[in-house]
Structure 1
Amino acid sequence: MKRNNIKLLSQVLISAFVLSSCSDSFLEDKKNYDNVNTGIYDYFSGANARVSDVYSWSLPDPNSDANWKYNCTGNADDQSKSTEEYSGFGAFVNPQAEMTVMGGTKVQDFFHNQANNIQASVWGRIRNINDVIRGITEGALSQEEKDKLLGQVYFFRAWCYYNLVKWYGGVPIVKDVLEPVESSVVPRSSAKACIEFICEDLDKSAEMLSAATINGGWSSSEDWGRVTSGTALALKGRVLLLWASPMFNRANDVTRWNTAYEEIKKSIPVLNACGYGLYQTSNNVNGSDFAALFSTVKSSEAVFATLFNTVQSGDGQKNNNWERGIRPKNSTGSGKEASAMMVDMFPMADGKKPALTNTYNKLEGSEYTYDENYPFMNRDPRFYRTFAFPGVRWAYSGDPTQANSDNPSYDSGKNYELWNYVWYTNLDDQGNAESGNSYGADNLLSNKKGLYVRKRSDDLDVNTSSLYNWAATDNNGGFAYSAAPYLEIRYAEVLLNYAEAACGSGHMSEAVEQLQKIRARAGYTAANNYGLQTDLAADQAACMSAVLYERQIELAYEGKRFDDLRRWMLFDGGISQANGAPSTWTLTGWGGNTCTYLGFKPLNGQRRENMEFRVQDSYGLGGTTKVSDPLVVAGVTRPAAVDYRKELTTQLEQLKEFYASKLVRKLKKGDARDQNHVDLTMQFYPKYYFLGFAQGAQNSNKDLLQTIGWEDYNNAGANGTFDPLAE
């Protein structure tokens, strides 16, 4: 690849690296220490500063939508909005805007980004990492010190390459610091070579970090959050699972599944030795352990995490905005709206899918009858920790009346109840799914959501020592300064990776064992086989379907679903082909259609709607103010909000009675309709399984071969010639 688009920044000599005053994280203060004088590598403090700089360039960021620098972390971005989790056509499923290289809707660029700016370039980040590897390797530190530092840097080079390969297949492999000259050109390598390169880096990382991390993790609490041998092997497992998946493995070569299975199985003892495991306590009430793992700073679940602090200004500020993003407006948040499709797909209390769900048809339906008018009845314990609906308690610490005197205080948030039912001001809007002219109770008014995403919340009833500093009058809202960690890889995902690889390699009993562990933490018991059907060990297709369903539920709103849908080709089952694709792209494994094999209804042709609960007709219409709530005007007394610290059955029955007499579920348009108000449906084009290079990337490198199925800017728009599946 040409390097003429990367310029060196200033040469800086650093004699020491000063950490943040916060004692629990070395990640809380980040400065720019790239491209330094080589003398810095002769001192551990200086070399460590360069390593910490690599972290600052490379760690995932839940405050950002997915882009060239950051992977998807669960926000309602183009990737998550191309899944069941959110509605509103993301770029990858928009039927009215096919992405192209040279047309009107440009293909998203995860390969290049900006020229002439090393910090805003995908390859600038890799060059920076290679610079650190060279500097430490050639420096005067002891081998023990070098290993401790290099092990971390090799991990991040692998992380960067993983995020390229999952989009493009083969990319240039650059191991050295290339000079910004015309001759510095590296061609695209095969996807297989890239996978091998990533795994080599991760093996190096795991070996180099073993002495420092496999005896319970890093010895110093200041180092908590740094990657470990377990982190490296967990990512290696994810990479090998990608390589075994249908997107890369069209013929279902079982040797790839075997390799993934063997490597992931071997990684489990190492992860345990590094201190990782499922986060579990002796007081798991209604899924409280599942909720608490996201607001526990040093959770055993955090295999690969980004840490944050509550510093409010200056260079040391590193806040997590997720809490502010999911909380309702009347508690000074903004709210994320879950799609009705996702809500309706969640398992019932017996662990089985709702019988009316028209996907995962290899799996048994629940014995509980699912009534969409009461979606909270008899659900999987994780349902209550993933969504928030009218009539549920969601405690926090802060006084929202500081921001708006009409906001309900609920004892400064400590007894907050979400009542987000709505009313309309005219009958035409009330019956119109496209109308957004509804008003929410408790001063939500026009700033309401139908059902809120609650996942990853710092719930005061679960975590009594909030990780946020409340500042309701701040422009950013009361939850702006949160130190809640973001978990990119958590131990539960490792077990799910293990389950999938075990199933793919024919070890279904081991796959089921991993699912049982996940279900046990959620609150299921052996009494009903942890909510799993009994034939999974004997039916590979049903077992794989159960694994993917469990991934969808356990990892909901964590930024993982879109990758799962792509690698399993669940938008169309893999039956369609990109323009110009060779015969080797034909899916011959899994009966030629992954959706049929799994009993999964393809997402193409479907649409996501939303829901809201409005007051029943008998209570009439309302106005645009808080006091015009028809239920308030009628003197209706609400039941106590559902409190997850207590037994749920009676509480939920009481809430159901309130809904039955006061509220009705209303369809709320999710995905777009056309100009004639006709429903549009998702359309994921087959060429999206492997992306093409954007025009800017090709313009910067005339020798960069374009991917098959995409226009080649350097060849007058002809079809690309690079085959991501060729070995």
Structure 2
Amino acid sequence: MKKYCLYLSLALGLSLQSCEDFLTQTPNGQQTTANFYTNAEECTAAVMGCYALTDQDDWWKIDRSRMFGDAGSDDAWKGNAIAGDQREFGDFSRFFWLPNNEWFDNRYTFIFQAIGNCNAALAGIEKAPIDAALKQKLLGELKFIRAYNYFELVKGYGGVPLVLTTLTPAEALAVPRASAADCYAQIIKDLQEAAAALPEKRDRPGAEKGRATKGAANAYLAKAYLYTEQWAPAQQAAEAVMNSAQYNLNDEFSYVWNVNNHNGNESIFELNYSPNQTFNLGTSLTVVMRSRADGGWGFNTPSSNLEQAFLRENDPRLKWTIIRQGDSVGTATANFDYSNYNTKPSENESGRTSRKMFVPLADRPANEREHAPLNRIEMRYADLLLMHSEASYRLGQETKALSSLNLVRARANRLQPGTVLPRRSTGAQLLNDIWLERRLELAMEGHRYYDLVRQHRLVAVIRAFNAYQATSTDPYDKGKLKDQISESNNLFPIPTNQIQLSGGVVTQNPGY
């Protein structure tokens, strides 16, 4: 027997290791990076592999940690009230964050694995004997995917090891953390180069729908600039998307998260899923976040605080964001009454579930976990418009800020005319209105925690949330607190495993 070990470090992903024994025999042929990138089909397949690894193939890798942006805020709880079921997610929801929490480690490790694959594909395709135009487009896609993954890391962990080439395991473990500023500079560089190389959405043929576009690269540029408080380039990048006429809000709010609306009018970038039963090509979040009474696991449940935010505004988006105990979301069947939805309050911290991740029974595939076809929209036009609104406000251009803000509100008003009226605010109130609109429009899409951090108000908002909880009369989540909040929670802890594997080269964030 001969032992071969595959080290999925920063060459293919940070410090994830797997070893398998193989029989010793002379292979008829071997596929290696040295002989793989020989034609357009192989190069395209490598890029498709980078898209796939960006999402992984099981719920516990990256999929579940997309709930961080909800549960790490005033919008949601762990949800599942069974104490021993994913206890570490419950710790996350309460801001009791320990560096040895496996949720932090898995997110960090598997995103770095995706970055490593991008680096390997970039090196291979750069030397490939393929058409120059195709080469530039594929390299643009890879730079977009790498930037997307680095953005997902830096907005949570702060500065991380910045690796742009393939490395050996020993080399990878010796790379220290770069500053957050340096990481964002690289993200911006990758996105600028991607935007220059990629086609617009309309120029992608049907078989390529969902792949990165010029609009996606510019939208993420706007987001990177927003997170680094570079307001003028954020506005300019957003306007490049707006002026492209590739996206609109014509789809009703109630239809955005629908299995029949993949890559719809509003979609700028989304993770595409398939119900294919042979491979894990779908999401698990539709099961992970659904009521335990309806065959789900019951995690990441909306808070009464979020519901009250909608009710104070008389906002009809509530119905399409939160399913409350007893709501009607369909008709009764022999096994479940969808006209009187049971959130199973005995095993649910809030008596609510997410409507945006809810798939009606008729649209659920067999073997739904890892096979649900509800795409994950990572960037949509309403988000882009609200980023433009915020950047314009910061530049003192309140007319532009109100225009983009009210485009989003006008679409919401179509759900129930006369309820979501145009804003006319100015000054500090206008900024508060923009921030509130982000909460209501994007609720339960994984944005809220990261918004609160970049707005420098995470601790203040969670303390206000706890004050509300202490006096709440809600029948389900009254009295529950997120009682461990502190300034250290503005960053995730660097996982203990990563620090140990690096021999201390990778250092910890403050407060952990």
1:230 to 203, 212, 215: 215
Counterpart position of 2:438: 551
- TM superposition shift of 1:278: 1.9
Asked if 1 retains the 8 angstrom alpha-carbon contact of 2:73 and 2:462, the reply is no
- TM superposition shift of 1:605: 4.2
In 2, the alpha carbon distance for the partners of 1:548 and 1:128 equals 36
Counterpart position of 1:165: 154
Counterpart position of 1:570: 457
**1:687 aligned onto 2:495:** no
- TM superposition shift of 1:529: 10
Asked if 2 retains the 8 angstrom alpha-carbon contact of 1:565 and 1:571, the reply is yes
**Max Rg structure:** 1
Counterpart position of 1:490: 380
Asked if 2 retains the 8 angstrom alpha-carbon contact of 1:566 and 1:689, the reply is yes
In 2, the alpha carbon distance for the partners of 1:230 and 1:603 equals 37
User: Where in structure 2 are the equivalents of 1:306-325 lying within 5 Å?
Assistant: 306-312=271-277, 314-315=278-279, 317-325=280-288
Decide whether aligned partners of structure 1 residues 451 and 192 sit closer, same or farther in structure 2, where only a CA change above 3 A counts. closer
Counterpart position of 2:330: 395
In 2, the alpha carbon distance for the partners of 1:183 and 1:395 equals 52
Higher relative contact order structure (alpha carbons within 8 Å, sequence separation ≥ 6)? 2
**1:214 aligned onto 2:200:** yes
Letter in 1 for 2:143: Y
**1:94 aligned onto 2:79:** no
- TM superposition shift of 1:162: 0.9
**1:265 aligned onto 2:265:** no
User: Where in structure 2 are the equivalents of 1:132-147 lying within 5 Å?
Assistant: 132-147=121-136
Q: Specify every segment of 5 or more residues in structure 2 that has no aligned partner in the other structure, as ranges.
A: 1-8, 21-29, 79-88
Decide whether aligned partners of structure 1 residues 40 and 556 sit closer, same or farther in structure 2, where only a CA change above 3 A counts. same
Show CA shifts across 1:611-633 (max 9, x none): 9xxxxxxxxxxxxxxxxxxxxxx
**1:51 aligned onto 2:47:** yes
- TM superposition shift of 1:382: 0.7
- TM superposition shift of 1:111: 7.5
Letter in 2 for 1:262: Q
1:291 to 244, 254, 258: 254
Decide whether aligned partners of structure 1 residues 519 and 533 sit closer, same or farther in structure 2, where only a CA change above 3 A counts. closer
In 2, the alpha carbon distance for the partners of 1:532 and 1:297 equals 29
In 2, the alpha carbon distance for the partners of 1:108 and 1:550 equals 29
Letter in 2 for 1:543: L
Decide whether aligned partners of structure 1 residues 332 and 520 sit closer, same or farther in structure 2, where only a CA change above 3 A counts. same
**1:109 aligned onto 2:105:** yes
User: Where in structure 2 are the equivalents of 1:375-524 lying within 5 Å?
Assistant: 379-389=314-324, 392-395=327-330, 400-401=333-334, 404=335, 407-408=336-337, 416-418=338-340, 420=342, 450-458=351-359, 467-469=363-365, 471=366, 482-523=372-413
In 2, the alpha carbon distance for the partners of 1:148 and 1:136 equals 11
Q: So what's the TM-score if we normalise by structure 1? A: 0.59
Show CA shifts across 1:146-169 (max 9, x none): 012111110111112112221233
Structure with greater helix percent: 2
**1:339 aligned onto 2:303:** yes
- TM superposition shift of 1:90: 4.5
SS at match of 1:304: strand
Counterpart position of 1:560: 447
Show CA shifts across 1:561-586 (max 9, x none): 1111222232334xxxxxxxxxxxxx
Show CA shifts across 1:204-253 (max 9, x none): 111111xxx227130x2111111111111111111111111xxxxxxxxx
Letter in 1 for 2:39: Y
Q: Specify every segment of 5 or more residues in structure 1 that has no aligned partner in the other structure, as ranges.
A: 11-33, 114-120, 245-255, 281-288, 354-378, 409-415, 423-435, 438-445, 461-465, 574-599, 612-664, 673-679, 712-727
**1:277 aligned onto 2:248:** yes
Decide whether aligned partners of structure 1 residues 684 and 230 sit closer, same or farther in structure 2, where only a CA change above 3 A counts. same
Superposition RMSD on alpha carbons, in Å?
A: 3.8
SS at match of 1:305: strand
- TM superposition shift of 1:500: 1.3
Letter in 2 for 1:85: D
- TM superposition shift of 1:257: 1.9
SS at match of 1:482: coil
Counterpart position of 1:667: 475
Letter in 1 for 2:330: A
In 1, the alpha carbon distance for the partners of 2:94 and 2:119 equals 38
Letter in 2 for 1:303: I
How many equivalent pairs are there? 480
Show CA shifts across 1:478-497 (max 9, x none): x9853221111111111111
Decide whether aligned partners of structure 1 residues 383 and 559 sit closer, same or farther in structure 2, where only a CA change above 3 A counts. same
SS at match of 1:108: helix
SS at match of 2:273: coil
- TM superposition shift of 1:173: 2.1
SS at match of 2:377: strand
Letter in 2 for 1:225: G
Asked if 2 retains the 8 angstrom alpha-carbon contact of 1:86 and 1:608, the reply is no
Decide whether aligned partners of structure 1 residues 35 and 242 sit closer, same or farther in structure 2, where only a CA change above 3 A counts. farther
In 2, the alpha carbon distance for the partners of 1:456 and 1:421 equals 14
Q: So what's the TM-score if we normalise by structure 2? A: 0.81
Asked if 2 retains the 8 angstrom alpha-carbon contact of 1:87 and 1:609, the reply is no
Decide whether aligned partners of structure 1 residues 513 and 93 sit closer, same or farther in structure 2, where only a CA change above 3 A counts. same
Decide whether aligned partners of structure 1 residues 529 and 260 sit closer, same or farther in structure 2, where only a CA change above 3 A counts. farther
Counterpart position of 1:702: 503
Decide whether aligned partners of structure 1 residues 418 and 260 sit closer, same or farther in structure 2, where only a CA change above 3 A counts. same
Asked if 1 retains the 8 angstrom alpha-carbon contact of 2:43 and 2:125, the reply is yes
1:149 to 96, 116, 138: 138
User: Where in structure 2 are the equivalents of 1:523-672 lying within 5 Å?
Assistant: 523=413, 530-534=420-424, 536=425, 538-539=426-427, 541-573=428-460, 602-603=463-464, 605-606=466-467, 608=469, 667-669=475-477, 672=480
Decide whether aligned partners of structure 1 residues 498 and 699 sit closer, same or farther in structure 2, where only a CA change above 3 A counts. same
Counterpart position of 1:633: none
Letter in 1 for 2:448: R
- TM superposition shift of 1:458: 4.4
SS at match of 2:118: helix
Letter in 2 for 1:468: R
